[in-house]
Chain A
Amino acid sequence: MKFAVIVFPGSNCDVDMFHAVKDELGEEVDFVWHDADDLSSYDGILLPGGFSYGDYLRSGAIAHLSKVMNEVKKAAEAGKPILGVCNGFQILLESGLLPGAMLRNKNLKFICKQVELKVENNETMFSSLYKKGETITVPIAHGEGNYYCDEQTLKKLQENNQIVFAYGEDVNGSLIDIAGIVNEKGNVLGMMPHPERAVDELLGSADGLKLFQSIVKHWRESHVVNA
C-alpha cells in the first residue's frame, strides 16, 4: 500500500508520520508538496500536524484552499482512506470534508501530554483492530482542539456512529469529549491526538500503530486477492 504525506508550509509532524508508515508499519510512503495536482498513484492520504501557514486567520483556513486539497477531495470521493491528524484534522474541517470546527482549548492553553482515548467505534477502516470500548494512550499537542458543531450535526454524528475516538476525560472542552470523527462514508478520519507519535513502546506508547495497521488491513482485504 502506498501512502502520501501531504506537506504544507508549516507542517511539522510530517516526518513523524513518514517514519510511522515507513519504519513501523513497513509500507511505501512519499512526501507530497501542497501544490501537487495528482494523487492518483496513492492508496492512502495522510494530512500531518503542525501549523500550516502559521495558523494565520484560523488553523487550517489557508491550507484548505491549497491546490492539493482538490485532489484530496477527489481521493475522498473515490473512497480512499484519508487521515488528518491535529492540524490535518483542522484542515479537513475547514475544507468541509468533515463537519464542525475547532475552538481554542477551554483553558486557553496549549496542551501537550499523553491522554487516554476510548475507542467508540471499531467498525471503521481506521479502527478495526481495536476492541470497542478499549482505552488507548496517545499524545495530544494542540492549542485549538476544542471540537464544536451545532446540535443537529452532533445528533447526526451520534446516530451515524461517526465518533471514533473520545477523550477519557474532559481535556480541552470538546463537545462530548470528541477526539476523532469520520465522515458519513467512513473513509475520512480526523483526530486531534497523534497516533504517529505512539507507534513504538520507546515513545511511551505503541497504541497508535493499530490505527495504521487497520488501514492496511482494510486495503488488503479490498484490493489484494487471497489476502
Chain B
Amino acid sequence: MYKVKVFVTLRESVLDPQGKAVQQSLTNLGYEGVEDVRIGKYMELTINEKNQDVEKTVKEVCEKLLSNPVIEDYRYEIEESVQQ
C-alpha cells in the first residue's frame, strides 16, 4: 500500500486572484512581510498496486485528471505504508 500526497497549484505564469485576495487580507491584518500567496489543492491517494510502478501511475493520473497542464503544475510525495 502506498500513501500518495498530490499538490496541485496554478502555474507561476498564471495570475491567482484567490491567492492575491488572501495576501491582501494578510497585509490588512498587519502581516506585511507576506509578499505572495498561491492557493492550490491537496489530495491524498491510497494506492494498492503490487506489481506496477506506482510512480508511473501517479504521474499518469496527475496528467490525465488531477491537474490541467495548461494552467496547473503538480508535485507529489509517495510513502510506502506498512500493512497492518
Contacts and interface: CB of A to CB of B under 8 A. Distances in A.
Interface of A: 57-58, 61-62, 65, 93-94, 99-101, 103-108, 148-150, 173
B57 to A, nearest CB: 16
Contacts of A62: 65
A58 B68 contact: yes
Given A106-B17, A108-B17, A148-B14, A94 B71 contact: no
B27 interface: no
B70 A104 contact: no
Instruction: For the complex of A and B, list the 7 residue pairs with the smallest distance between their C-beta atoms, beginning with the closest.
Output: A101-B70, A101-B71, A101-B68, A108-B17, A106-B17, A58-B68, A148-B71
Interface in B2-24: 10, 13-15, 17-18, 21
Contacts of A100: 70
Given A61-B68, A103-B10, 13 more contacts: A57-B66, A94-B68, A100-B70, A101-B68, A101-B71, A103-B14, A106-B17, A108-B17, A108-B18, A148-B14, A148-B70, A150-B13, A173-B17
7 contacts: A61-B65, A61-B68, A65-B65, A103-B14, A103-B15, A108-B17, A108-B21
Contacts, number: 37
Interface residues of B, number: 14
A100 B15 CA distance: 15
Nearest to A96: B70
Contact of B18 (A61, A101, A104, A150): A104
Given A61-B65, A65-B65, A149 B17 contact: no
Interface residues of chain B: helix, strand, loop or mixed (majority): mixed
Q: Which of B15, B21, B71 is the most central at the interface, judged by chain A CB atoms within 10 Å of its CB? A: B71
A107 B10 CA distance: 17
Contacts of A148: 14, 70-71
A104 B65 contact: no
B23 to A, nearest CB: 13
Interface string B30-46: 00000000000100000
Contacts of A108: 17-18, 21
Contacts of B18: 104, 108
A177 to B, nearest CB: 16
B64 to A, nearest CB: 8
Given A104-B18, A108-B21, A149 B65 contact: no
B43 to A, nearest CB: 9
Contacts of B10: 103
A101 B14 CA distance: 11
B71 A103 contact: yes
A206 to B, nearest CB: 34
A157 to B, nearest CB: 13
B9 to A, nearest CB: 13
